Amino acid sequence: MFIKSYCHIKNNAILLNGELIFKGQQEHSFKEFIKLAYKDLETDYSKFFKMDNLSKLAFLGADVLLKQENVEPENEENIALVFSNNASSLDTDRKYQKSIEDNNNFYPSPAVFVYTLPNICMGEISIKHKLYSENSFFIFENFNPEYLYAYSEGLIKENKAEKVLCGWVNVDKEEYTAFLYLVTKEKGIMPHTIKEINSRF
C-alpha cells in the first residue's frame, strides 16, 4: 500500500504534500481563515457556510486531496473515509448547550443540532463527491497512527474499498488541526507505514 497524497491544515495555512497552497493572516480567526481558503481554492459547495467548524475543516481538507486525485462526482469512486480526533463534536456541542440552557429563551436550533455528531462531516464529503463506501469516525485521546494504519489496510485488503481517505481532524474553539492522507494500492509518494504516517503528522 502507498500514501498517494496528504494534506495539513493548521496555523492558518494549508499544505498539500508538504507544499504551501494557501496562507491566511496570523490574526485571522478560524472562521475568517476557512472562508478565505474556501474562496481561494475555488471550493464549490453551497452548504459549506451552514456547516459547523469541524465539518468545514474536514470538508476542505478532503476537497483538496480529492481534487488532487481528480475525483469527479460523476465517476463513482470506492473511497472509504476513516477520520479521528479527541474532541468529538465538542465545539458544536457547546453552542447547542447554550441554545437550550436558558429556560426563558428555549430555542434549540435544529441547524446546530444536526452537527452534534462528529461523523456528520463525512456525510458532507460523501454527498459532494458521491462516495458510497464505508466511513467511520473514531475518538482517541491522541493521534493513533497504528489504528488508522491497520483499519485502512484491512478495508483495502478485504475489498471493502479501493482507496481510504483517513487521518485526524480536530476543532476546539480556535484550536484546530487537520491531517488527512489517501491510502491506495497504486504507486504513491511514499509507502503506507506507521513510521511514514507519524513523520508526516
Q: Which residues does 187 contact at the CB level (< 8 Å), separation at least 6? A: 2
Q: Which residues does 78 contact at the CB level (< 8 Å), separation at least 6? A: 132, 133, 161, 162, 163
Q: Which residues pair with 167 in a beta bridge?
A: 83, 180
Alpha carbons 18 and 189: distance in angstroms, whole number: 11
Least reliable range by pLDDT among 20-29, 45-54, 87-96: 87-96
Instruction: Looking at 5-140, list the stretches that DSSP marks H as alpha helix, in order from N- to C-terminal side.
Output: 30-40, 53-68, 90-100, 110-113, 120-129
3-state secondary structure of 55: helix
| Residue percentage of the chain with pLDDT more than 70 | 92
What pLDDT is recorded for position 69?
Answer: 87
Handedness of CA 33, 36, 41, 43 (dihedral sign): positive
What pLDDT is recorded for position 74?
Answer: 66
The 10s digit of each residue's pLDDT in 69-78 is: 888 766 778 9
The 10s digit of each residue's pLDDT in 136-175 is: 999 999 999 999 999 999 999 999 999 999 999 999 888 8
What pLDDT is recorded for position 170?
Answer: 94
Question: Is residue 152 within a helix (H) or strand (E), and if so which, with residue range?
Answer: helix 145-157
What pLDDT is recorded for position 174?
Answer: 82
Domains along the sequence of the chain with CATH: 2-200 (3.40.47.10)
First to last CA, the chain: 18
Q: State the cell numbers at 24.
A: 491566511
Alpha carbons 90 and 31: distance in angstroms, whole number: 17
Q: Residue 154 gets which letter from DSSP?
A: H
Q: At 35, is the pLDDT very low, low, confident or very high (cuts 50, 70, 90)?
A: very high
What φ, ψ does residue 151 adopt, rounded to 5°?
-65, -45
Handedness of CA 33, 196, 4, 153 (dihedral sign): negative
| Residue percentage of the chain with pLDDT more than 90 | 67
- Which amino acid is present at 109? S
The 10s digit of each residue's pLDDT in 86-124 is: 988 766 777 777 777 767 666 667 777 777 788 899 999
